[in-house]
Chains A and B, each alone.
Chain A
């Protein structure tokens, strides 16, 4: 990458850390450090909520998904607006109004210590590992793209993030999120502008080409539980998932606990309700645009440069043969794509479309062979989809904009990781250290421990990220089992709002919910994970209410 692009990246890193620390106020108390003295405006919190949810993989993986699979992934977010509105009238007033630091602290007030500790422990378990994963994912991509060791990428993302999160607390995180969210949107519009200017065909023809390959199918109304992204799994399963994530996950709950009132907390969530689907659709359409662009400008056969280099070294002759076939077929497909754009009349258009689809299938077959070769040589899953957008950015974006996009990727990674570290430290200190180890210490002591806890989780995340390749299966296991309790924890919070529910019912219900999800996962592994949240939450509610009724009568 050109030195000017690197300068932009460095300026961004220095600016975000310096300004994050400058905006830190009231961090000389635990309340200031963890919930900003409950003083932030709704728009600061709202942007922080959005930046936390938008990870680096959303910036590089999601447009890649748009390029390879189209826009149907947008259905995943269909439940989000409804979930935000529901949370605005249910959990947000309970959590913000009760003056707690963590969502789990509220559960002890409502139920008992064991329910609080179990839910807090489950949060630490899943989010502790995921903080490392969300650092590793962009780290691996940046390392492959720029050719430097993974530990450098991890340091590039991890050191500034840990620094401003540890020193400045939640306020530094929130203000950094605001800037990062603006940078992310600017970076996305930079790609849109470049695509609009450089696209060899007009927008109508570009959409025709994208539509011909099925990439503009946004709705799938089939009621197939094995299909991950459908309208119904998005509306029903997605609503439960978003309720769980925004209502019970400390990394999000802590964002709106910093709002200066319940109304401001509600408004901050509504920002996502309004903008998430349009933003996500835009990100996917950027990917579709890149796909169309690559019909006319030949992209690399393998997008992952590290895999490409390994294949050239180990299987040079076979790869050279694939490259020759790819070049020939690409020319044929380009001509076919132009014919689609220029076709006149229904019959001619149909014939042009069929010819184009045949050539596209040929290209995909060759790409499939190259991916198999790469997997064989490297022994790794290809995940080539994550490299499409970075390669496009570095080769097609003008000087300066590429640096801006890489800074945007770092911003997306840092905003998500900072929120995780902040939430992990809060839960460790408030739900465990202060609750079980040192209940009577002074504020200054807890503040020192909080900063130490942030540093600990930051280093832990960096270590997990650095060894992500070797810890791969472990991380996958943790993430997979993480979905066992997401919906179940939501069920406990829903129970908390029902006057007749009791502590034992909630605790046993939580275990029953996780068991039910585990049973579905092992008994019917093809059922989409989006339905796990529904199953978990409903089981907890049913079991919890039944047991609460029994214990009340007893």
Chain B
């Protein structure tokens, strides 16, 4: 079975790495939406 880096696995580091990556992308996306709301929403 192939295992790429960042693929979630039940065995610890792979899953943690993926979780951090996914959450990082989401935090950036949500931060941009938050910025949009803060700057322009009246």
The residue that A93 contacts in the complex, of B3, B10, B39, with Cβ under 8 A, is: B10
Say whether B9 contacts A281, CB under 8 Å: no
Instruction: A370 to B23: give the CA distance in the assembly, Å.
Output: 45
Q: Given contacts A85-B18, A218-B36, A263-B4, are A211 and B29 in contact (CB under 8 A)?
A: no
Say whether B42 contacts A211, CB under 8 Å: yes
Q: Which of A202-226 contact B (CB under 8 A)?
A: 207-208, 210-212, 214, 216-219
**Within 8 Å CB of A207, what residues of B?**
36, 39-40
Q: How far is the CB of B7 from chain A (nearest CB, A)?
A: 5
For the complex, count residues of A whose C-beta is within 8 A of B: 32
Say whether A212 contacts B42, CB under 8 Å: yes
Q: Is residue A267 within 8 Å, beta carbon to beta carbon, of the partner chain?
A: yes
Q: Given contacts A207-B36, A266-B8, are A84 and B22 in contact (CB under 8 A)?
A: yes
Q: Is residue A270 within 8 Å, beta carbon to beta carbon, of the partner chain?
A: yes
Q: Is residue A81 within 8 Å, beta carbon to beta carbon, of the partner chain?
A: yes
Q: How far is the CB of B29 from chain A (nearest CB, A)?
A: 5
Q: Is residue A261 within 8 Å, beta carbon to beta carbon, of the partner chain?
A: yes
Secondary structure of the B side of the interface?
helix
**Within 8 Å CB of A71, what residues of B?**
33
How many inter-chain residue pairs (CB < 8 Å) link A and B? 76
**Within 8 Å CB of B9, what residues of A?**
89, 263, 266
Q: Is residue A542 within 8 Å, beta carbon to beta carbon, of the partner chain?
A: no
Instruction: A250 to B35: give the CA distance in the assembly, Å.
Output: 38
Instruction: A89 to B17: give the CA distance in the assembly, Å.
Output: 13
Q: Is residue A277 within 8 Å, beta carbon to beta carbon, of the partner chain?
A: yes
Q: How far is the CB of B14 from chain A (nearest CB, A)?
A: 9
Q: How far is the CB of A71 from chain B (nearest CB, A)?
A: 7
Interface residues on B, range: 20 to 34
The residue that B8 contacts in the complex, of A85, A211, A216, with Cβ under 8 A, is: A85
Say whether A81 contacts B2, CB under 8 Å: no
Say whether A89 contacts B7, CB under 8 Å: no
**Within 8 Å CB of A214, what residues of B?**
41-42
**Within 8 Å CB of A278, what residues of B?**
29
Instruction: A74 to B32: give the CA distance in the assembly, Å.
Output: 13
The residue that A210 contacts in the complex, of B2, B4, B40, with Cβ under 8 A, is: B40
Instruction: A264 to B9: give the CA distance in the assembly, Å.
Output: 11
**Within 8 Å CB of A216, what residues of B?**
36-37, 40-41
**Within 8 Å CB of A88, what residues of B?**
7-8, 15, 18
Q: Which of B15-32 contact A (CB under 8 A)?
A: 15, 18-19, 22-23, 25-26, 29-30
Q: Given contacts A81-B23, A262-B1, A270-B18, are A353 and B40 in contact (CB under 8 A)?
A: no
Say whether A273 contacts B15, CB under 8 Å: no
Q: How far is the CB of A84 from chain B (nearest CB, A)?
A: 7
**Within 8 Å CB of B1, what residues of A?**
261-263
The residue that A89 contacts in the complex, of B8, B22, B26, B40, with Cβ under 8 A, is: B8
**Within 8 Å CB of A261, what residues of B?**
1-2
- Closest A residue to B1 by beta carbon equals A261
Q: How far is the CB of A292 from chain B (nearest CB, A)?
A: 11
**Within 8 Å CB of B18, what residues of A?**
85, 88, 270
**Within 8 Å CB of A263, what residues of B?**
1-4, 7, 9
Q: How far is the CB of A311 from chain B (nearest CB, A)?
A: 34
Q: How far is the CB of A271 from chain B (nearest CB, A)?
A: 11
- Closest A residue to B23 by beta carbon equals A81
The residue that A74 contacts in the complex, of B15, B33, B39, B40, with Cβ under 8 A, is: B33
- Closest A residue to B3 by beta carbon equals A263
Q: How far is the CB of B10 from chain A (nearest CB, A)?
A: 5
Q: Given contacts A273-B22, A278-B29, A281-B29, are A208 and B8 in contact (CB under 8 A)?
A: no
Say whether B40 contacts A274, CB under 8 Å: no
Q: Which of A254-281 contact B (CB under 8 A)?
A: 261-264, 266-267, 270, 273-274, 277-278, 281
* Across the A-B interface, the 8 shortest Cβ-Cβ residue pairs: A211-B40, A88-B8, A218-B33, A207-B40, A263-B7, A273-B22, A216-B40, A216-B41
8 CB contacts below 8 A, A to B, read A81-B23, A88-B8, A210-B40, A211-B39, A211-B40, A211-B41, A270-B22, A281-B33
Other A-B contacts than A216-B36, A274-B25, A277-B29, 5 sampled, CB-CB below 8 A, are A88-B15, A88-B18, A263-B1, A266-B7, A270-B18
